[in-house]
Chain A
Amino acid sequence: MNPAVHMDGITKRFPGVVANDDVDLAVERGSVHALLGENGAGKTTLMNVLYGLYEPTEGTVFLDGEPQSFDSPRDAIDAGVGMIHQHFMLVDPMTVWENVVLGNEPRTWGGLRVDEAAAREAVVDLSERYGFDVDPDARIEDVSVGVQQRVEILKALYRGADVLIMDEPTAVLTPQEVEDLYDVFEELTDQGKTIIFISHKLGEALSAADDITVLRDGVNVGTVASTDVTREDLAEMMVGREVLMEPATTPQEPGDKVLEVTDVHADDDRGVEAVSGISFELRAGEVFGIAGVDGNGQSQLVEAITGMREPTDGEITYLGEAMAGESRREHIDRGMAFIPEDRQERGLVMSYDLTENGILGSQHDPPFAEDGRLDWRASRDHAESVIEQYDVRPPDADAEAESLSGGNQQKFIVGREFERDPDLVVAMHPTRGVDIGSTEFLHDRLLELRAEGKAVLLVSSKLDEVQGLSDRLAVIHEGEFSGVVDPATVTEEEIGLLMAGETLADDSVEGAAVHDAGTDLGEAGDEEVDA
């Protein structure tokens, strides 16, 4: 029997670069296939070829043994290939069934009117057939991200997709929703659908996929059955060398109180309360982690702490002094380093070179400025030292920030902030977009800062990162801590429940006493391997 999808010798060249180099991919009908690789490995390009967005320079796509030639996604859809993008394309104020049929509505009155009853009926049938728990009349804006994803899948199925391509489907989901998604995968494959999903997370490829194809530098490194490989094998295939997966932390007696947050409330930009009464304290030599699905108030909390946003209520005490209402400048001057979540909006001035970016935040302070005059020589030396220590590429202080890749931009920001000699480091997604090798290095540096007695507030959506590095771990849900747990003993399921806003019944939720977290910090949950 022919495989459902067979991509034969696909080469895709762009001017000056080969994104896919003679890639073969065979996916059996009714299986789940993971396409694994770092960013830039060519995963999305390959899938865009399959989805008709790109025409391959060389090679042929076969569906069920039939050679295909797609000029556009329209052709691919007609041939039964559906793609679910990472960012959903749904109309928020419309209902589930309206979104599913949008663009392909059943018509009456000679095509003048949408046959609403038939459309709704079709959507209900479809979701029942695949066992989706979706209310067809709910508005998109009222349903969870997991449900929205199912609506996207329904959309593809409604258009007759037999092969579903999903781009990083778990990126926006809580662990429970991820489990639900795996159930959906199973239901779909049972009914003969074929699923290809793009991922750079080893864990999910291992648990969800039947087969895994690893791409590196646009080349198929190998296709393996998920039962035959380990994480370490996959990481090595992706990176091309052996990778140390777990950061090694040592127990440490925390020191003086550095930061105390008491019942802080803060609004988001629209004036809606995003942080609803959060309290915690952070001591020198301690890493306090905050986990949670993005958009649950961690941005606003961090902004309130770093002086970017005025809290509406509550107190923030830093090194014994009340900080609420103080300027951002004051926060910097008192030794607070801040790695912002948005490196291209805030962390770097994109049109400045690295010399200029190296003094962002320190532009009034010696040795870079004296009496209001800037010392560009000292600034350049500083930038070059950050570039060298943090392996920023290209190693050129004159390179403009926008010419750097995302990971290198991030490394430069982290380097600049770590080298500020801070008392407190507020790090938001510090390794987002950074490749595994550099992530390892940044984690080591973070733990060095901890060993030097700095306090670290670590916010990350990578569960393994916060779990592995933190001494204590808080989980944030809708602006409140749904729990503060010991990262050494908590399970991923428990964190997932907390992320979804549930409370843990047993006593694994602790008050404040888990400072002596064990040496063996957290079995790494889901190694995220970013480029």
Chain B
Amino acid sequence: MSRSDAGDDDGTGAGRIPQIASRLIAPFVDRSVAERLLISVAAILLSIAVGFVIVLVSGRIAECSTAAWTMPLTGIGFCYDPVEVYLVLFNGALGYPFAVGEPGLFNPDWSPFNLSFALTLSETTLLIFTGLSVAVAFRAGLFNIGTQGQLVVGGLATALTVLAAAPLLPAGPIAGVALIAVGILAGAVGGGFWGAIPGALKAYTDANEVITTIMLNFIAANVAYVLVLEVFRAEGSSVVATEYVPEYAQFLPWFFPGSSDFALVALLVGFGFIAGLYYLVEHTSFGYDLRTSGVQAAAAEYGGVNAKLTTVRAMTLSGAIGGVGGAVWVLMSEGRWMASVPSLGFDGITVSILAGNNPLGVLPAAFLFGLLKGGALEIGFRTDVPTELVGVLRGLIILFVAMPEFFRMIGRYTGLGSRGPSGPDAGGSGGAEPADDAAAVEGGETDA
């Protein structure tokens, strides 16, 4: 028995060094779920604080007749009141559960089934799909920037399939359910196909998926545009869009106002995808292959994982989920495919990053961005503050979440996580060549 073993056993001596080191480096190298959560929450709070200052500063630059807020003691006036901005942002996104002007007081007239909250949830639902799409690719070590294009293609496939199939069935709720199912399937196939292309290019021609997915986004958007403009454009439509799919083939809003473009059932489908994807990643052989390829490709190869096939499969799955997002966008939000597709796919990247690429984390992350979206509209209605400030807030959140990720990357590239520049406390833990007690104690002596 070696000394290092003894150290591990009784928790004294040599075993401590790597423990300490890993505790120091862990936040940047290999964070646990709890740590990711902590960082995400901290990033949100930090961005709110910085956003506070930005609102103040921009309120100083803007011109207004009466100051919305005056700084005590100094008497300096600001056009925008940051407290009010945040109250409107979050309160408004939920449809004002708290009385306006009297923060903390519950509004007795509030019902969750209001228009503002529906907008928030609508955005949340769509971001769940695009966030999951990006997350699943990330877990396989692939950076899918192409969710946007997959959503565009999937949405178009859904719209065209449902429009083509609708006349074949008698109108009615049963046909509606069937058409929605077929539409989602068509979206998944379309998006999956569009995701499989960069997957195959990556696997068999070694083409960087970041480049190919970006390019395929352009191709998707422009080909779809021309296709709809020239072939599938609705007669008399002033915008480039397909015909509306029949009313009965769209998601019904249920309890929410009909004008809200939100359907609870679509959100439930999103929950189902979250649970399903979580199970897939954590509890199946395919998920094991996928994750292993993502964290350590050489070990995956050793473990009999077919790297090429896994790449293609992961990108196809990612694209299919993005395509389902497109289907939901068509069948829930718009009722048709139109050329002005919102940037849901790109927002999915930020959702996934905030979620730490964990399917379960996608839900709160998507909800947060849903809140910001819904709140931004309220800010536009209720205050003089430009809604772009909300965009700044969103950017700040990602900036702060991404910064530890950045440290982690730096740690990997510089080997900080594996063997430090010098000294024992950087000696071992983390990344590529970790925690050999001996290495830690002896400042990097290699074994054998």
Known: A19-B441, A43-B442, A432-B447. A374 touches B288 (CB 8 A): yes
User: How far apart sit A17 and B16, CA to CA, in the bound complex (Å)?
Assistant: 7
CB neighbours (8 Å) of A40 from chain B are 2-4, 7, 14, 437-438, 441-442
User: How far apart sit A400 and B425, CA to CA, in the bound complex (Å)?
Assistant: 19
Which residues 83-126 of A have a CB within 8 angstroms of B?
86
| Structural contact, A216 and B3, CB atoms closer than 8 A | yes
| Structural contact, A402 and B304, CB atoms closer than 8 A | no
User: How far apart sit A501 and B284, CA to CA, in the bound complex (Å)?
Assistant: 50
| Structural contact, A16 and B20, CB atoms closer than 8 A | yes
| Structural contact, B301 and A372, CB atoms closer than 8 A | no
User: How far apart sit A406 and B5, CA to CA, in the bound complex (Å)?
Assistant: 10
Q: How far is the CB of B261 from chain A (nearest CB, A)?
A: 37
Which of A62-70, A130-138, A361-369, A445-453 participates in binding chain B?
A: A361-369
B: number of interface residues (CB 8 Å): 59
| Structural contact, B448 and A329, CB atoms closer than 8 A | no
Q: List 8 A-B contacts (CB under 8 A).
A: A16-B19, A40-B438, A333-B304, A346-B298, A349-B299, A352-B292, A360-B292, A373-B283
User: How far apart sit A15 and B328, CA to CA, in the bound complex (Å)?
Assistant: 56
CB neighbours (8 Å) of A333 from chain B are 304
CB neighbours (8 Å) of A18 from chain B are 13
Q: Which chain B residue shows the least CB distance to A215?
A: B3
User: What's the A-B contact tally at a CB cutoff of 8 Å?
Assistant: 211
| Structural contact, B436 and A406, CB atoms closer than 8 A | yes
Besides A40-B2, A328-B301, 13 more A-B contacts (Cβ < 8 Å) are: A14-B424, A14-B441, A48-B443, A217-B13, A346-B302, A349-B292, A349-B295, A350-B431, A360-B292, A403-B22, A407-B5, A433-B436, A528-B448
- Indicate if B30 sits at the interface (CB-CB under 8 A): yes
Q: Mark A195-210, 1 if CB is under 8 A from B, else 0.
A: 0000000000000000
- Indicate if A275 sits at the interface (CB-CB under 8 A): no
Partner of B434, one of A16, A217, A372, A402: A402
| Structural contact, A43 and B20, CB atoms closer than 8 A | no
The list of the 6 closest CB pairs from A to B, nearest first, reads A433-B447, A16-B16, A40-B438, A435-B2, A39-B438, A402-B434
CB neighbours (8 Å) of A167 from chain B are 445
- Indicate if B430 sits at the interface (CB-CB under 8 A): yes
| Structural contact, B302 and A19, CB atoms closer than 8 A | no
Q: Which chain A residue shows the least CB distance to B21?
A: A15
Residues of chain B touching chain A, judged by Cβ–Cβ distance below 8 Å, are: 1-5, 7-9, 13-14, 16-20, 22, 30, 283-289, 292, 295-296, 298-306, 422-425, 429-439, 441-448
| Structural contact, B438 and A531, CB atoms closer than 8 A | yes
| Structural contact, A42 and B441, CB atoms closer than 8 A | yes
User: How far apart sit A350 and B443, CA to CA, in the bound complex (Å)?
Assistant: 20
Known: A403-B22, A403-B435, A432-B448. A39 touches B4 (CB 8 A): yes
Residues of chain A touching chain B, judged by Cβ–Cβ distance below 8 Å, are: 14-19, 38-45, 48, 53-54, 86, 167, 171, 216-217, 239, 308, 327-329, 331-333, 338, 340, 342, 344-352, 356, 359-361, 363-364, 369, 372-374, 376, 393-394, 400, 402-408, 429, 432-433, 435, 437-438, 461-462, 528, 530-531
| Structural contact, B442 and A405, CB atoms closer than 8 A | no
User: How far apart sit A461 and B357, CA to CA, in the bound complex (Å)?
Assistant: 42
Partner of A351, one of B4, B9, B30, B425: B30
- Of B14, B306, B430, B437, chain A has the most CB atoms within 10 Å of the CB of B14
| Structural contact, B285 and A408, CB atoms closer than 8 A | no
| Structural contact, A344 and B448, CB atoms closer than 8 A | no
CB neighbours (8 Å) of B437 from chain A are 40, 405
CB neighbours (8 Å) of A331 from chain B are 304
| Structural contact, B433 and A344, CB atoms closer than 8 A | yes
- Of A45, A329, A349, chain B has the most CB atoms within 10 Å of the CB of A349
| Structural contact, B438 and A344, CB atoms closer than 8 A | no
CB neighbours (8 Å) of A432 from chain B are 447-448
CB neighbours (8 Å) of B447 from chain A are 39, 406-407, 432-433, 530-531
| Structural contact, A348 and B299, CB atoms closer than 8 A | yes
Partner of B9, one of A17, A345, A394, A406: A394
| Structural contact, B442 and A39, CB atoms closer than 8 A | yes
Partner of A17, one of B14, B287, B299, B446: B14
CB neighbours (8 Å) of A461 from chain B are 448
| Structural contact, A327 and B306, CB atoms closer than 8 A | yes
Q: How far is the CB of A352 from chain B (nearest CB, A)?
A: 8
| Structural contact, A405 and B304, CB atoms closer than 8 A | no
Q: Which chain B residue shows the least CB distance to A396?
A: B8
| Structural contact, B424 and A327, CB atoms closer than 8 A | no
CB neighbours (8 Å) of B5 from chain A are 393, 405, 407-408, 435
| Structural contact, B442 and A308, CB atoms closer than 8 A | no
| Structural contact, B283 and A19, CB atoms closer than 8 A | no
